[in-house]
């Protein structure tokens, strides 16, 4: 599967609560307040793959990649009604649904759905008031 084909498939958010999908840090840094939340950032700089070109009829690629899911959280603002734990719980649920949609593509299989590492974060991804969860995905891609 080409990277462009993967990106097109990963942009499919129909049936999820995800509002936008990005593939480059500069995309989320440059849109700041105009980001639609929650959003997904596929960190292509962390993309590591192993390709099997021995089978000429079906090429397979095993990939590991870090994915960030961001939501808005304005700490200390009187208008903020949620706490960070509630937002983190929502983010995990949104991403689970998004993974389910991604897995319906016959060329993409998330192989670590039953054992997916993740980390919470409250600062550091952008200058905006982002809060999020990063997930380490393992994928099998076919072409």
Q: Closest Cα partner for 40 from 80, 67, 16? A: 67
User: What class is the 3-142 domain?
Assistant: alpha beta
Q: Which residue has the higher pLDDT, 130 or 134?
A: 134
Please give the share of the chain, as a percent, with pLDDT higher than 90: 63
First-to-last CA distance in the chain?
Answer: 5
Segment 2-30 shows an average pLDDT of: 90
CB-based contacts of 97: which residues, under 8 Å, 6+ apart? 15, 16, 17
pLDDT of amino acid 130: 81
Report the mean per-residue pLDDT for the chain: 87
Of 49-53, 54-58, 110-114, 138-142, least confident by mean pLDDT is: 54-58
∠ CA 28-30-31, nearest 5°, is 70
pLDDT of amino acid 60: 86
CA distances from 89 to 125, 132, 133 (A): 19, 10, 9
Which residue do the tokens 């089978």 mark?
A: 55
Distance CA 104, CA 4 (A): 18
pLDDT of amino acid 32: 56
pLDDT tens digits for range 60-108: 899 999 999 999 886 666 566 678 899 999 999 999 999 999 999 999 9
């Amino acid at each position: 599967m080409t990277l462009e084909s993967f990106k097109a498939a990963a942009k499919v958010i129909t049936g999820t609560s995800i509002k936008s999908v990005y593939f480059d840090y500069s995309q989320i840094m440059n849109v700041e307040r105009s980001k639609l939340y929650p959003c997904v950032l596929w960190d292509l700089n962390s993309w590591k793959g192993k390709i099997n070109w021995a089978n000429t009829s079906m090429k397979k690629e095993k990939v590991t990649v870090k994915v960030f899911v961001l939501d808005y959280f304005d700490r200390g603002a009187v208008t903020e009604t949620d706490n960070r734990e509630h937002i983190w719980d929502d983010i995990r649920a949104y991403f689970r649904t998004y993974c389910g949609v991604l897995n319906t593509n016959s060329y993409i299989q998330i192989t670590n759905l039953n054992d997916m590492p993740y980390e919470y974060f409250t600062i550091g991804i952008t200058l905006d008031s982002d809060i999020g969860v990063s997930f380490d995905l393992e994928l099998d891609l076919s072409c």
